[in-house]
Structure 1
């Protein structure tokens, strides 16, 4: 008799709501055109309760602008995907450039969802305020480090402290971070500060996975590749589309499907990995 027998036939049948009873914090989920929104919908459709973080002042400064209906419209669209009648969707703001904001955000999310956050998806990032090696300056470097790297590590720290208070081996602990393919092909020579900050997350993935292993938490980082989140149009858009074997950009739901799977128990043996979900993208 094997020490770990094969699962029964019944166990192999997939539960349509495998995240029933689980709770999720998704950061950077302020627009229906973004990856955070797509991830939140996928997790809600798998049965989870979801807390959406947003920072509308950031979107206001970007070419795509803030969500016309505001954060509540985003939350309502996620609620439409809820698979468990007992699950709920919450939302709240947070300027994660503030060193104290990550712990406050995690605490608010936990309070809203019954005192626990099972799954943390750190999707937020600072857009713009960057340059080439010749033009990047200390302010650009510091701004991206604060939002794209420091705040993520502080979120994971607050999450780890919350998980440490749970009974040993409580199942369902997941952390997913986001990188940007800065280590592939030619890198990101026009976004040095962003590439540095996101590259740090890729580098620290295994370290955080080891640190959280004692709490039965997996930690993985996803590189979604170029995703159409409404930031590019015209000839430049078509040129990027031609770099994919499928002839199209990645859509927000493409990385969302991977992240949703990583959040389930089926992915409990995957940790410390940087996973590319980029549709075979190659610069021409």
Structure 2
């Protein structure tokens, strides 16, 4: 049984909520995996991190408060709460519950990224630089359902990508980036308000790192139409596919998506076929892009 499955998430949430004076008696799980999200009375959502993520959670809280003060629509922390709360090595943070919403469209993603990328850098805390290869080594080692041969190839390909990153061509000026700017991390409310979610990867880096998410949905997977991608570029004002560094960022993104599936397949056999398909694609075994058969992980 995995560490996550053995974790008493409810006890952690109740301990953290009690420490900061929040009502936790009726806490209910929303999502539980390697971390956990719980609903609390009073339109509060509690998030429990993986072990050892206290500094990351503290930075995410700082980012949320800074974005709120800067006027960029993003998920907001519960005010007047000293957080994150450390419970046995897991960071617990508390957020305002969003009203009914759905995933944003590519043009909505473009609009909020354009606003984010124009912000001056924060002066009262350190965002740090983008980390394109964070957790990839751990994902490869955790891909236990895959063969040793496949894991050796993944390690070699990771080393190649890291070398290419050191020679990243010059592009748009580095700025504040979201770090994981796909449509699932942009929530659209019924009244038209669009907010950024999941601020864990917010950092300083090339804005193209955010833009490539949407670009590959068209060029690599055909998940959005050419017309949708043109609209995305028109709203943002830039087409990342015309940049000399596009192929590198594309390859890193596809690699991250592949290793995520391979790690997940180790504990969820239903995902093994999808993981192997992704691996075959990035190894060049299914021809040129766009590839068919890439499916969202449920």
Query: Normalised by the size of structure 2, how large is the TM-score?
Result: 0.26
Bigger CA radius of gyration: 2
Query: Normalised by the size of structure 1, how large is the TM-score?
Result: 0.26
